Each structure stands twice: as structure tokens, then as C-alpha cells.
Amino acid sequence: MKKTFELEDLDCANCARKMQEAVEKLDGVTSCQINFMTQKMTLEADDAVFDKVLKAAIKEIGKVEPDCTVLV
């Protein structure tokens, strides 16, 4: 499954890169792209574990930039 989510309060491109790298390391993630300019994250993972992967991705994003919110 591949879904795109809007990101709110993503402050810098460097943070976006760090978030993307952290999410890509999670188990079950096929691919992740975080675009600072569009303020969007595209996450791809297996359907069976997608919700679990999304929760883990949101947690990792919060570690990099606590003010950033993933609009689910």
C-alpha cells in the first residue's frame, strides 16, 4: 500500500531529510519520501503492517521535529 500524508509545521529541508532517513530504516517500510516544498510524506509498506508502520513513522518524525504533525 502506498499513501501520501500532509505534514504540518515541517520547518526545514534538513529535518525532512533526517525524518525520511529514520522512517526508511523502520521494519516493513518499502519506501518513504518526505518533500519539504510540498509538506508531504509518501509512505509505502505492506498492506498487512501498514497501520503499524505508520504509527512507528509518526513516532520517528516526532523525535526529529516534535512540532511536526502528520495529518492522517
How far apart are the C-alpha atoms of 9 and 1, rounded to whole Å?
25
pTM of the model: 0.93
**pLDDT per position as a tens digit, 40-67:** 999 999 999 999 999 999 999 999 999 9
CATH of the domain at 67: 3.30.70.100
Print the domain residue range for 43: 2-71
Provide mean pLDDT across the span 23-27: 97
- CA of residue 5 relative to chain centroid, distance: 8
Number of domains in the chain: 1
Provide mean pLDDT across the span 27-41: 97
Phi, psi of 29 (to 5 degrees): -80, 125
